[in-house]
Every structure is written in structure tokens, then in C-alpha cells.
Structure 1
């Protein structure tokens, strides 16, 4: 049986090739401290079916190219969106929030001007 791994697709920009990241927890032999280790594998995706963020299973094969020695077996779970999209949404939200803050400051400034005008009229009388 071929060596199989399960990981997340981090790149699908090349034709028929995906980059898969495998994250594992390891314990240091001397200090007994646990740490995460990320390994990247380049895999062959004949039908270009895997997309960035998908959870996939890859299997070891004979070398296909200089860096590819794995092929895509199956897509286990489709991604629910990418991190870039979430960051764009957060940026848009922050921009709206900043715009709302500017409007609130402008309203507060006009309120203080009205209050100063009313107070100024009272002094003259």
C-alpha cells in the first residue's frame, strides 16, 4: 500500500499541480515540549479538481517531476472560502466603521457649535 497523507491545499495556481501542507504535532526528544511542524508536498492533480483551502488525501507514487512524487487520491472536504476573502470583508468593515466614526465626529462637532451659538446668544441678552 502506498504512503498516504491528509492535508490542506495551500496553492492550486499551477496546472495539474497542487501544494499540500501537512501540519503535525511533535514532542522534542530532550525538552519534552510539543510544537507544530508544517511540511509541504507537491502533488499531481490530473483533473485540476482541488482548490485552495480544500482538505485532500494524497498518495506517494513514482516521481512525476523533480518535485512531484505524490498524486491526489480524493478531496475529503471542500473549503468554505479563503482567508483572503475574509480579510477583504474585514477591511471593508473597518472602512465602514471608520466612515461611521467620521460621521459621528462631524455630528458631535455640529452639536457643540449649536450649543455654543445658543450659549453666546444668552449672554448678549
Structure 2
């Protein structure tokens, strides 16, 4: 039982981030953009900073525009140190119009 609690504690200590998927062009890899608001060091005005994280998506469930939660994991490649935990919210871009839906004659 103590071993189970130890592993659960280790899991909860892993860093997690939430943000939209900005790229799915690689196999089993997504790019998530995480935004944070920090005061400017000199002017003290609140500034939004962005950073992109490469995350492992084994099943390929995340799509462009989805809001996802990623957690820290072992290094999987030069850039990938995160893996997809869950898709928080699906994107509305999924049902984008196809050329056949638009009835455009070319």
C-alpha cells in the first residue's frame, strides 16, 4: 500500500500545462502553445508570454485547435518532454466546411 501511495504522489508532482494545439503535422506529436501573464520587469505592465511545447500523442486523438492538458514525462526526443494527458475541450474547427458542402462550381 505504501508503494501505491508513493507512485501516486510522484504522479501528482509532475508539472502539467493546459493550452490549445497549434500543430499536428508530425506523427504522434502535437505542439501546444501555453500562455502566461507576467509583469514586465521594468514597466510593471502585465504582458502575455507564449511558449510552445512538443508533446507525445500516442493515439493521435488531439486535433488542431483543441484545448489539451499535457504532463511532464521522460525525454522522448530532442524536443519532446511532455505527453498528452487529456483533451479538455474539442475545437469547433472540426466541422469546417468542405468544398462539396459549399456547392461551388469550379
Give the TM-score taking structure 1 as reference length. Answer: 0.64
Question: How far, CA to CA, are the matches of 1:10 and 1:30 in structure 2?
Answer: 31
Q: Larger % of helix: which?
A: 1
Aligned to 1:78: 90
Q: 2:41, 2:78 → 1: CA distance?
A: 33
Higher relative contact order (CA 8 A, sep 6+): 2
TM-score by length of structure 2 reads 0.75
Structure having the higher Rg:
1
Aligned partner of 1:24 in structure 2 is: 36
In the alignment, structure 2 segments of 5+ residues that lack a partner are 1-12, 98-106
1:2 equivalent to 2:9? Answer no
What's the counterpart of residue 48 of structure 1? Answer: 60
Question: How many aligned residue pairs are there?
Answer: 85
Distance in 1 between residues matched to 2:51 and 2:45, nearest whole Å: 19
Give structure 1 stretches of 5+ with no counterpart: 87-125
